[in-house]
Amino acid sequence: MEDVLIAGGGTVGLMAAACLARHGVGALVVEREPGPQIHPRATGVGPRTMEILRELGLEEAVNAVAVNMTATFGKLTAGTLAGAGLRDRQAQSRAELMGDLSYTPARIRGVCPQNRLDRVLLDAARTRGARVEYGTELISFTQDGEGVTALVRGPGGEREIRARYLVAADGVRSTVREGLGVGVTGPGVLGPNLHNILFSADLSGVTGGQPFGLCEITAPEAAGILVTIDGEKEWTFHTDLEPSAELIRAAVGDPELEVEILSTLRWRARGQVADRFSDGRVFLVGDAAHAVPPVGAFGMNTGVADAHNLAWKLALVLRGQARESLLETYHDERRPVAQLALSQSLLRAQDITLHFGSNAEARARAGAVNAPIVHLGYRYGSGIEDLPSTEDVALDLDGSVGSRVPHVWVSEGVSTLDLVDGRYCVISAEPVEADVPVHVVEGWPYGALLVRPDGFVASAYTPGA
């Protein structure tokens, strides 16, 4: 019997496999496509995702494939890309654009297209013992008191897989969610059919080789959003207009540009959250559990944090070190975070300046919170209305129960987050007696904290309690 079967080998399924493998749990991933996803959707990798990658030892590997944006531009808006005048403008330092990042030890040097991130995760998961079977689709499943029996169809025909738990990372149209009969709540499909056109072209003639993240193109004949994929020759253009090389030339503002369209993805933005994130031995993660419009970059990033939240709980239960009731906290903790991600994405979809603008007052009026708070400033067990700040995530990461433990540099290159290392521990300014590792951090102002394996504060630590 497998420990964990994961349906879907997109970013979140691969992250679940990598996180489980890191806890010594074997996972089998079945992915219906013949290989890793080629067409990138997400490019914005958030601070919590980077912290999770750092925990997995993958911060450097992801930075090696991320686009170098040491100097870049914030969101651009212009009639055409040429009209944005990048050749004649001075790029800003990324550090300046990102603002204060002192709340986190993890860094990414620029955007990272999802397909490149997936390759890093696939290698990490396989190296640590997870198995990933491409061309294998989960058709149906049943569950009983001991496990889950899944029917899959792969290159060798149909077969049954028996596993203790099933993790559904099978995307927005999740077969598993439907099989469970779990409904979704939210506005559903939003806006028109969109084309996400992946194309290859040398844009250095209009950019002067200066990297940019995204540019909103306003010319009516070529309206859409141009997004950097590899910073050199690959880009995507999101539009509701008919895809063609001519359209790309019009958006770039260079009628002579050589353009090769590599692939086109048709999609529609959606807003929905599953009514239950788990049912017995089955858990929904990523887009199977929640789908949000892309402004804000909360989709994949929320899914990655789902996988991380679930993995250590499954590991402890499978090792017999925790009761099965621990697994119920997955729904209780992650569904409110997904609802926050949805509501904040919807606000940003209506008014993009709430995300890219720096107007905290406008955000407060609209009920929007600053993006880092959606990524990692929430608290399990209480809502954003209870947070000390909806703008400054550093104020929210104050050692309160349910929050991500504060980051403090302990020594050169070592953060308090690194001390956790996937196990329960105590972080304290003074030595204390405990049957978990105790890390004494000089000047730690938060009292003695019992920290969970995922780096969230479980409780104030009282010896002997």
Ligand X SMILES: Cc1cc2nc3c(=O)[nH]c(=O)nc-3n(C[C@H](O)[C@H](O)[C@H](O)COP(=O)(O)OP(=O)(O)OC[C@H]3O[C@@H](n4cnc5c(N)ncnc54)[C@H](O)[C@@H]3O)c2cc1C
What contacts 412, CB < 8 A, 6 or more positions away?
none
7 binds ligand X (CB under 6 A): yes
**Residue 28 touching ligand X (CB under 6 A):** no
Q: Could you say whether residue 403 binds ligand X (CB under 6 A)? A: no
Task: Compare residues 105 and 299 and give the one whose CB is closer to ligand X.
Answer: 299
8 A C-beta contact, residue 153 and residue 47: no
Decide: residue 385, CB within 10 A, 0-12 exposed, 13-18 middle, 19+ buried: exposed
254 binds ligand X (CB under 6 A): no
Cβ-based nearer residue to ligand X, 43 or 104? 43
Contact 272, 186 (CB under 8 A): yes
Binding segment (CB under 6 A) for ligand X, from list 53-61, 80-88, 276-284, 294-302: 294-302
Residue 291: what are its φ and ψ, rounded to 5°? -130, 135
From the CB of 174, what's the least distance to ligand X, in Å? 7
Contact 269, 294 (CB under 8 A): yes
297 is a contact residue toward ligand X (CB under 6 A): yes
CA dist 149 and 161 (Å) reads 6
Cα gap 444→279, rounded to integer Å? 40
Amino acid identity of 392?
Answer: D
Q: Which of residues 136-195 bind ligand X (CB under 6 A)?
A: 137-138, 169-171, 175
Q: Is 10 in the site for ligand X (CB under 6 A)?
A: yes
What track of x and - describes contact with ligand X for positions 204 through 243 (by CB under 6 A)? ----------------------------------x-----
- The binder of ligand X chosen from 44, 47, 113, 455 (CB under 6 A): 44
Q: How far is the CB of 45 from ligand X (least distance, A)?
A: 7
Q: Binding ligand X by CB under 6 A: which of 17, 18, 28, 30?
A: 30
Residue whose tokens read 């997936």: 118
Cα–Cα distance, 391 to 409 (Å, whole number):
23
Instruction: Look at phi and psi of residue 310 and say left if phi exceeds 0, alpha if psi is from -120 to 50, else beta.
Output: alpha
**CB 354 to ligand X: min, Å:** 16
Enumerate residues 326-365 that contact ligand X by CB under 6 A: none
Which positions lie near ligand X, rule CB under 6 A? 7-13, 30-33, 37, 41-44, 114, 137-138, 169-171, 175, 196, 238, 267, 286-287, 294, 297-301, 303
